[in-house]
Amino acid sequence: MQLSKIPHKAKEICSPFWPDLETCRRIMILMHHEMNRCLDVPDHPANDFKMLNTYVTQLPQGNETGQYLALDLGGTNYRVLLITFDVDSSEPTIEYDTERIPPELMTGKGDELFQFIAKSVKKFLTERELLDVHFDMGFTFSFPVKQTSINRGTLIRWTKGFSADDVVGKDVVEILNRAMSALNLNVTCRIITNDTVGALASCKLTYPDTVAGVIVGTGTNAAFASELPAGPSFNDLPPSATYVVINTEWGAFGDHGLLDEFKTEFDRIIDEESKNPGKQTYEKMISGMYLGEITRHILRRLVNERILLQGNMPEKWNDMDSIPTSLLSDIARDPDYLFYNTERIIREHFNVTEYTDEDLQIIHHVGVAVANRAALYAGTGVACLVNRIKRREVTVGVDGSLFKLHPNFPANMLNVIRRLANPLFHCKLQMSEDGSGKGAGALVASLMRHTRSC
């Protein structure tokens, strides 16, 4: 294919999606100062970060042993897992069952929802002839909770289609333990956590220098092991604690204007059309839920200005969410000057048959640009954490579809991290597998190992 010059106007429209190092540095500094403020004044309505105390003060060391249960509840499907740690193996063995919650239980009585889950645990143990064995459990509960200890978490609100009554404002661990006790299950829930903390724990099993976990997929979040903060939210940690894992909930960074100068017109459109306008600003710039829509709006703008496809708008581009973010990964796999995937996508997904080589170049350029900014901004956030952690060797466990499936995402993240982080700190990114399952099991194994040694 003959490479033609991308029109100046197309490059100009996409230029904010190629932020320079100084832009990323300014965002990192804003993030650092806002994190400090949120630690000093927790629960302030203008806080961008939650900086939540997870009460995790013991992380896996790789020498955990024993069998543990994990329960992973984060949507309509949930998992019951049996995780076996053996000192002779670097990886635990995992057995699991996946169950689907009936819609009527998602919106019905809370007690009945947790009774249904407890029955699944009983079925899981019965099938493996383990009913008579005592198990400690880790509970990954991917809904907004206010933790008051490592095994106490009050539901703030339901999301993801759940509205089961008489659970909001209650301790979900207590409700779960009560439901399991009613079935005479010899199971005790020891930890409540989320997938981000789990990503940290899962990765630390294999990489001892792991001190942070990051999710970059449909949504985004980060958690990191911090020196003990002086803020009031951290006064009730054990006297023996030397660090604590903080859940940043960083997706809301920028919700009070700190990122306004970095927003494009397309970010503003996405926000206005979203189900939560004014919320999750940082997440909307970098997570998989929104990158396809940003791409669609840029392409529509280019068509409307007759820069692309001779001004002929593909019918599908009029529909929200008609460009899945996964297509950006396919586009990025095209070799230079040979836009095979881009051409296949425009023909098969959007039914466009009349286009030029220049059109393919422009579409490819847009897709790569949108993912590029997402990776650089995600890496900027990680660089902020690396500078806060202040260790010479830092491994960050990363989970999520964007990091796993986009061919350029990890390298682009790491590039900006190494340019922004203090040169004394060396950062590595490692794929973290199954934080919500294996990670939860690793956390409870670590807790029980520490409990036995005390």
Query: Looking at the predicted structure, is the pLDDT value of residue 218 above 80?
Result: yes
Q: How confident is the model at residue 430 (pLDDT cuts 50, 70, 90)?
A: very high
Yes or no: say if 221 and 407 are a contact pair by the CB < 8 Å rule: no
Q: At what angle do helices 21-40 and 409-420 cross, to 10 degrees?
A: 70
Rounded-to-integer distance, Cα 55 and Cα 245, Å: 7
**pLDDT of 171-197, one tens digit each?**
999 999 999 999 999 999 999 999 999
The dihedral sign for the CA sequence 446, 170, 38, 434: positive
Report which of 274, 224, 261 is spatially closest to residue 244, judged by C-alpha positions.
Answer: 224
**In angstroms, what CA-CA distances link 49 with 32, 57, 250, 363?**
11, 20, 6, 35
In this prediction, residues 355-370 reach a mean pLDDT of 96
Q: How confident is the model at residue 62 (pLDDT cuts 50, 70, 90)?
A: confident
Query: Which of 48, 72, 171, 195 does the annotation list as catalytic?
Result: 195
Query: Looking at the predicted structure, is the pLDDT value of residue 301 above 80?
Result: yes
Q: Where are the alpha helices (DSSP H) in 277-395?
A: 281-286, 288-304, 326-332, 340-348, 357-389
Query: Looking at the predicted structure, is the pLDDT value of residue 1 above 60?
Result: no
Q: What are phi and psi for residue 79, nearest 5 degrees?
A: -125, 145
% residues pLDDT > 90 (the chain)? 87
In this prediction, residues 384-404 reach a mean pLDDT of 97
Is 160 annotated as catalytic? yes
Range of weakest confidence among 106-115, 135-144, 332-341, 445-454: 445-454
Predicted pLDDT of residue 255 = 97
Q: How confident is the model at residue 263 (pLDDT cuts 50, 70, 90)?
A: very high
Predicted pLDDT of residue 157 = 87
Query: Looking at the predicted structure, is the pLDDT value of residue 71 above 80?
Result: yes
Beta bridge pairs of residue 52: 247
Range of weakest confidence among 62-71, 116-125, 229-238, 282-291: 229-238
In this prediction, residues 439-452 reach a mean pLDDT of 89
Range of weakest confidence among 6-10, 241-245, 405-409, 446-450: 446-450
In this prediction, residues 226-238 reach a mean pLDDT of 89
Query: Looking at the predicted structure, is the pLDDT value of residue 454 above 80?
Result: no
Rounded-to-integer distance, Cα 194 and Cα 213, Å: 11
Rounded-to-integer distance, Cα 395 and Cα 380, Å: 15
Query: Looking at the predicted structure, is the pLDDT value of residue 312 above 80?
Result: yes
**pLDDT of 106-129, one tens digit each?**
999 999 999 999 999 999 999 999
Query: Looking at the predicted structure, is the pLDDT value of residue 259 above 90?
Result: yes
Range of weakest confidence among 34-38, 230-234, 267-271, 361-365: 230-234
Predicted pLDDT of residue 435 = 84
What are the structural domains, with CATH classification, of the chain? 53-206+434-447 (3.30.420.40)
Query: Which of 9, 160, 390, 428 does the annotation list as catalytic?
Result: 160
Q: How confident is the model at residue 453 (pLDDT cuts 50, 70, 90)?
A: low
Is 86 annotated as catalytic? no
Q: How confident is the model at residue 436 (pLDDT cuts 50, 70, 90)?
A: confident
Rounded-to-integer distance, Cα 326 and Cα 332, Å: 10
Report which of 302, 432, 319, 317 is spatially closest to residue 369, judged by C-alpha positions.
Answer: 302
